[in-house]
């Protein structure tokens, strides 16, 4: 074989099953783009590198496989960083390949030079600076194995221009590296877990993104059912557990239902499965499940005892650990605990006012959900609309909900939805976004049009950074500052300017019919939905407070001065 470094990259991408990449070319990665010209890989030309990063995330989040984004050196690389950091916090396997100035010029403040390796160090699972074309034969397989193995995450490969052009002779293409099988759960550990569960009176399973990555929905369901264990989910775990199962408690934490957080207060055994005790889930951590023994199962040893010391911590693949302990789990219906939870549910249900009215936040989200099949993918941006969607959308399966959980990145929604639609073109992808968030990656509207991605954007327009407005109103004495937009945007006209059809719900007599038209017309479409700025996401745990101190969300929402 005789290839350039750039040809090695495209050849290795093909060998890893990559058929689509997203990026933007520039001086320092032009040799790579020249090699792409000659390859079968489809290239999605994003309009901003952050868009390319999130398009890759969308592909990775729905498939569970690593996806690839490309950027040139300097500003191309720095523009990718937010999407890479976002992938790190949500454990998404992304391989970012950046061009770099020629090796001899590194460190000279050359045109479009930044230290991409240094900048990406704290926000990647691993990163590489390629020093030779031959090295790429090792780096690329490693990059994919690291991105996908164990706890997934982003990997950056920085490739100087001369390395992309360098020719090298080699005998054979390296095989993709096999993923290391996680260590099996020792029988003694499995027995110990089963014993703790048998002794508990009020256990709760607390599941998160790790459950999704492990693909262990069936095992979790079997465990919960056999021992009558109620199940709560973090934002990242939504979709893993069937929402209509009587054992399901819904989402916990800052915007979880009151009964969910109250049930957690009372539990005596917390089985933390693929979670990281994020503060949005736990509230004031000292007051989280105060009387509970804790079992913590995670594939990443770094998560154990990081925030809450576990009585038993198990490092391993969640599905395998549950499978190992299932035979020792005693059947139990836990009548007393179930009836206590039923009583909490009755007394403190999740109030979703306006559910039948598509002109209200909850009503709109439910109307959209009712008009797509349960295979549809939901992406969101960040803000009130994200939390309303998390509360109201009836998630039926894993990898259906794409949201920026850890980093909370406004601008995530549109490009991520495009990536999901490209990876799975037969599914409808709904993106619920806000008037603030969509502006952060609005340029990708034209990418969606160009690719005819089947993305349905629902812009919930309260002419405000609503979640900020809500916090200022509730916790800063109603001193609303820099959160309301003084000037609105005609998002439908903007979409049309980008070549995307649009529907103005505010002007429709029959909003359900208008939604139906938008959701069933093939290709991308934008729906503009005016929302009252006074609408709130309730309940809400005040920042820093215990989950039990949540406010609002009862039938008579608390009045807060």
Ligand X SMILES: Cc1ncc(C[n+]2csc(CCOP(=O)(O)OP(=O)(O)O)c2C)c(N)n1
Which residues would be at the binding site for ligand X (CB under 6 A)? 381-385, 408-410, 434-437, 460, 462, 464-468
Nearer to Mg ion, 24 or 440 (CB): 440
Q: How far is the CB of 357 from Mg ion (least distance, A)?
A: 19
Determine contact, residues 230/337, Cβ cutoff 8 Å. Answer: yes
215 binds, among ligand X, Mg ion, none (CB under 5 to 8 A by kind): none
Cβ 384 to Mg ion shortest distance, Å:
7
Compare residues 261 and 464 and give the one whose CB is closer to Mg ion: 464
**Least distance in angstroms from the C-beta of 461 to ligand X:** 8
> Among Mg ion, ligand X, none, what does residue 67 contact (CB within 5–8 Å per kind)?
none
Burial of 87-98, coded b for 16+ CB within 10 Å and e otherwise, reads: bbbbbbbbbbbb
Name which of 231 and 467 has its Cβ closer to ligand X.
Answer: 467
Structure tokens at 195: 């014993």
Q: In the bound complex, what is the minimum distance in angstroms from residue 402's beta carbon to ligand X? A: 16
Task: Please state whether the peptide bond connecting residue 539 to the residue before it is cis, i.e. omega within 30 degrees of 0.
Answer: yes
Nearer to ligand X, 415 or 434 (CB): 434
- Closest distance of CB 257 from Mg ion, Å: 23
Torsion sign (Cα): 400, 401, 407, 411? positive
C-alpha pair distances (Å), 343 with each of 243, 346, 414: 18, 5, 40
Stretch that binds Mg ion, among 210-218, 240-248, 426-434, 470-478 (CB under 5 A): 426-434
Smallest gap from Cβ 388 to ligand X, in A, equals 8
Q: Residue 464 has what DSSP assignment?
A: B
- Could you say whether residue 433 binds Mg ion (CB under 5 A)? no
Chosen from Mg ion, ligand X, none, partner binding at 47 (C-beta under 5 to 8 Å by type): none
Single out the residue of 408, 418, 417, 415 nearest to residue 382, CA to CA.
Answer: 408
Q: Taking a C-beta distance cutoff of 8 angstroms, is the pair 341, 259 a contact?
A: yes
Joined together, the tokens standing for residue 222 give 């079997």
By residue count, the chain amounts to 561
For Mg ion, the binding residues in 64-103 under the rule CB under 5 A are none
Q: Contacting Mg ion (CB under 5 A), which of 462, 470, 472, 547? A: 462
Residue whose beta carbon is closest to Mg ion: 434
- Region from 83-91, 115-123, 215-223, 458-466 binding Mg ion, contact rule CB under 5 A: 458-466
CB nearer ligand X, residue 166 or residue 444 = 444
User: Between residues 20 and 470, which has the closer beta carbon with respect to ligand X?
Assistant: 470
Among 317, 435, 451, 535, binds Mg ion (CB under 5 A): 435
Q: Work out the number of other CB atoms within 10 angstroms of the CB of residue 375.
A: 12
Angle CA 59–63–67, to nearest 5: 45
Q: 206, 236 in Cβ contact below 8 A?
A: no
Phi-psi region of 7 (alpha: psi -120 to 50; beta: other; left: phi over 0): alpha
Name the one range near Mg ion by CB under 5 A: 224-232, 334-342, 350-358, 427-435.
427-435
Q: 248: which strand partners?
A: 231
Minimum CB distance to ligand X smaller for 155 or for 465: 465
Least spacing, CB of residue 457 vs ligand X, in Å: 12
The DSSP-derived string for 289-344 is STT-EEEEEES-GGGTTTSS--SEEEES-HHHHHHHHGGGPPP---HHHHHHHHHH
Based on CB atoms, which residue is closest to Mg ion, 129 or 387?
A: 387
Least distance (Å) from ligand X to the CB of residue 252? Answer: 20
For the CB of residue 462, give the shortest distance to Mg ion in the complex, in Å: 4
Structure token digits, residue 477: 């004495």
Nearest-approach distance from CB 433 to Mg ion, in angstroms: 9
Q: Which is nearer to Mg ion, 193 or 460 (CB)?
A: 460
Nearer to ligand X, 133 or 505 (CB): 505
- 440 DSSP assignment: G
Q: For residue 74, give both structure tokens.
A: 């300097």
Cα–Cα distance for residue pair 352/76, rounded to 1 Å: 43
Distances (CA, A) of 264 to 204, 288, 346, 364, 546: 7, 8, 16, 30, 12
Residue 98's binding partner out of ligand X, Mg ion, none, with CB under 5 to 8 Å set by partner kind: none
- Rounded least distance, CB 359 to ligand X, Å: 15
381 near Mg ion (CB under 5 A): no
Nearer to ligand X, 73 or 470 (CB): 470
Q: What is the DSSP string of 46-113?
A: -SSHHHHHHHHHHHHHHHSS-EEEEE-STHHHHHHHHHHHHHHHTT--EEEEEEE--GGGTTTT-TT-
Nearer to ligand X, 62 or 438 (CB): 438
Looking at the DSSP bridge assignments, the partners of residue 298 are 315
3-state secondary structure 207-235: ECHHHHHHCCHHHHHHHHHHHCCCEEECH
Rounded Cα gap, residues 356 and 508, in angstroms: 17
- Identified binder of Mg ion from the candidate list 283, 406, 434, 511, rule CB under 5 A: 434
Q: Which of 154, 237, 466, 511 is the binder for Mg ion (CB under 5 A)?
A: 466
> To the nearest whole angstrom, how small is the minimum distance from the Cβ of residue 10 to Mg ion?
41
Q: Which is nearer to ligand X, 261 or 437 (CB)?
A: 437
386 is an interface residue for Mg ion by CB under 5 A: no
CB of 385 to ligand X, least distance (A): 4
* Residue 160's binding partner out of ligand X, Mg ion, none, with CB under 5 to 8 Å set by partner kind: none
The entry of ligand X, Mg ion, none near residue 296 (CB within 5 to 8 angstroms by kind) is none
First CA to last CA distance, the chain: 73
User: Per-residue x/- marks for Mg ion, 329-368, CB under 5 A?
Assistant: ----------------------------------------
Q: Residues interacting with Mg ion, by CB under 5 A?
A: 434-436, 462, 464, 466
């Amino acid at each position: 074989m005789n290839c350039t470094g750039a040809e090695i990259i495209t050849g290795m991408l093909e060998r890893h099953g990559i058929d689509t990449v997203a990026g933007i070319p520039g001086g320092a990665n032009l040799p790579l783009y020249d090699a792409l010209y000659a390859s079968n890989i489809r290239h999605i030309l994003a309009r901003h590198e952050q868009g390319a990063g999130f398009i890759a995330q969308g592909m990775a989040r729905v498939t569970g496989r690593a996806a690839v984004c490309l950027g040139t050196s300097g500003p191309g690389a720095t523009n990718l960083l937010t999407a890479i950091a976002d992938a790190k916090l949500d454990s998404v396997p992304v391989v970012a390949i950046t061009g770099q100035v020629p090796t001899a010029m590194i460190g000279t403040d050359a045109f479009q030079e930044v230290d991409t390796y240094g900048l990406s160090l704290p926000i990647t699972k691993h990163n590489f600076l390629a020093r030779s074309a031959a090295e790429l034969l090792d780096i690329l397989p490693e990059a994919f194995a690291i991105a996908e193995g164990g706890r997934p995450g982003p990997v950056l490969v920085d490739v100087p221009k001369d390395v992309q052009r360098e020719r090298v002779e080699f005998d054979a293409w390296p095989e993709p590296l096999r993923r290391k099988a996680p260590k099996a759960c020792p029988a003694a550990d499995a027995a110990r877990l089963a014993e703790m569960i048998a002794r508990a009176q009020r256990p709760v399973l607390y599941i998160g993104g790790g459950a999704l990555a492990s693909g262990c929905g069936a095992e979790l369901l079997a465990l919960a059912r056999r021992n009558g264990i109620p199940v709560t989910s973090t934002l990242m775990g939504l979709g893993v557990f069937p929402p209509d199962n009587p054992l399901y408690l819904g989402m916990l934490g800052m915007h979880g239902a009151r009964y969910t957080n109250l049930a957690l207060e009372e539990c005596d055994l917390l089985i933390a499965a693929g979670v990281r005790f994020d503060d949005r889930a736990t509230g004031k951590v000292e007051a989280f499940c105060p009387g509970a023994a804790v079992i913590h199962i995670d594939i990443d040893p770094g998560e154990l005892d990081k925030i809450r010391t576990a009585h038993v911590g198990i490092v391993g693949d969640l599905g395998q650990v549950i499978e190992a302990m299932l035979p020792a789990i005693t059947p139990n219906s836990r009548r007393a605990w179930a009836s206590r939870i039923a009583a909490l549910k009755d007394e403190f249900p999740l109030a979703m006012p306006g559910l039948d009215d598509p002109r209200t936040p909850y009503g709109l989200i439910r109307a959209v959900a009712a008009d797509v099949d349960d295979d549809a993918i939901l992406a969101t941006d960040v803000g009130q609309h994200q939390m309303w969607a998390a509360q109201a959308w009836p998630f039926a399966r894993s990898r259906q909900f794409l949201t920026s959980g850890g980093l909370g990145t406004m601008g995530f929604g549109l490009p991520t939805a495009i990536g999901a639609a490209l990876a799975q073109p037969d599914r409808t992808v709904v993106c619920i976004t806000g008037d603030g968030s969509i502006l952060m990656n609005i340029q990708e509207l034209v990418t969606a049009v160009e690719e005819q991605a089947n993305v349905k954007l629902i812009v919930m327009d309260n002419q405000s950074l609503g979640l900020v407005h809500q916090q200022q109103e509730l916790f800063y004495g109603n001193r609303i500052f820099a959160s309301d937009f003084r000037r609105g945007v005609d998002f439908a006209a903007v979409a049309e300017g980008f070549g995307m059809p649009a529907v103005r719900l505010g002007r429709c007599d029959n909003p359900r019919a208008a939604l139906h038209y938008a959701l069933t017309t093939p290709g991308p479409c934008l729906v503009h939905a005016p929302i009252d700025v006074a609408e709130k996401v309730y309940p809400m745990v005040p920042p820093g407070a215990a989950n039990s101190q949540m406010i609002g969300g009862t039938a008579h929402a608390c009045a807060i001065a």
